[in-house]
Structures are given as C-alpha cells and as structure tokens.
Amino acid sequence: MIYYEKDGIRIRDLRESDAQIITDEEIAQGWHQSVEKYLMRLQHQAEGRCTSFVAEYNGCVAGYVNVYPYSIAGPFVDCGYPEIVDLGVLEKYRNHGIGNVLLDVAEEFASRTSDTVQLNVGLHSGYGNAQRIYVKRGYLPDGSGAWYRKAVCEPYSPCCNDDDLVLYLSKKLR
C-alpha cells in the first residue's frame, strides 16, 4: 500500500526485499546491524502486531519507521498509546525531509486509535538527529528520566551509554 507520494518521496509498506537493502546500507554507514531486525518487523507486520513503513527517495529505499498499537515497556505501558519504533533515514538520503514525512505518516496512522503517540530515543550522539526532530515536532519527555534496559535509571546508578539508555517522549496528536 502507498501512504504518501510527493516530491520524489514515497511511503509504502515494508517488503521482504527491503530487509537486506536496509541492512547492507546501514552496515556500510558503520552501524552494527543484522537483517534479523527487519525480518522480525516483517513477521510482526504479518501477525498484525505493527505496521512498518518504508520511505523511497527517487525509487531507492531511504528510510523506515514502525508503529505498534501499544507499548510493551516503559512509562506508557498501561496508557494504550501507540508507539513509534525505530525511525531511521539512511545517511545519504538525509536532509530531504524524509524523516518528517515518515513521522507524518506514522502519526496519522497512530491518530486513528489514540489522541497521543509515544516513543523512546537513545541518548548517545548517534541519536542526535532523532532527538532534534522529535523536539522540533513537539514531543515532550514524560518526566521519568532516563531508562536503561527497560527500567528507570536511578540517579547515580551505573549504566552504559549504549542503545539501551533511552528517554521516553510523547506527543498530543489532537
């Protein structure tokens, strides 16, 4: 299904052939990635557990995002808010508005079932672009502070500044 198409950007459902393309491109960028992550998203999509969107830019796979109907961890677990998971735009396609279009589509999709959407973002510098786009789009921290490995990171407790150190954010959609 096509969700958006304008100015060289097309947003559509994730396909099996996208998994290896995205993996190879992310590895080429120096990211630690495996195809299993995208195959898992495809399985979740087939089971109705999420909707996975892919962005194409001028016909090339350029980014992705997933929307789950509710959170399975974090401060919003019992709120029933949809969760945006794993927004990514390949580096060579950044600065063309692709991340914003992916979020527009994800937020519109989430708004069908809730007036609020939530997500989490990593705290290390690799997530800097994501942190900025979320703030610019009106996402606010929930106030529980940093989370590490799916639990609140208590003040002065040890943690590692890896992909498991995150901040939870939400946005009112309507």
pLDDT confidence tier of residue 83, bands split at 50, 70 and 90: very high
pLDDT (tens digit, 9 = 90+) per residue, 13-30? 999 999 999 999 999 999
Residues 88-109: b if buried by 16+ CB within 10 A, e if exposed: bbbeebeebbbbebbbebbbeb
**Full domain range(s) for residue 116:** 2-172
Q: How many helices (H) and strands (E) does the chain have?
A: 4, 9
Residue 9 to residues 5, 103, 106, 167, Cα–Cα distance (Å): 6, 13, 15, 29
Q: What's the token pair of residue 30?
A: 């120096």
pLDDT confidence tier of residue 55, bands split at 50, 70 and 90: very high
pTM passes above 0.75: yes
Question: What's residue 61's pLDDT?
Answer: 98
As for how many domains the chain has, the answer is 1
CB 130 within 8 A of CB 77: no
Residue 46: CATH number of its domain: 3.40.630.30
Q: Please tell me whether residue 105 adopts helix, strand or coil conformation.
A: helix
Bridge-partner residues for 16, per DSSP?
Answer: none
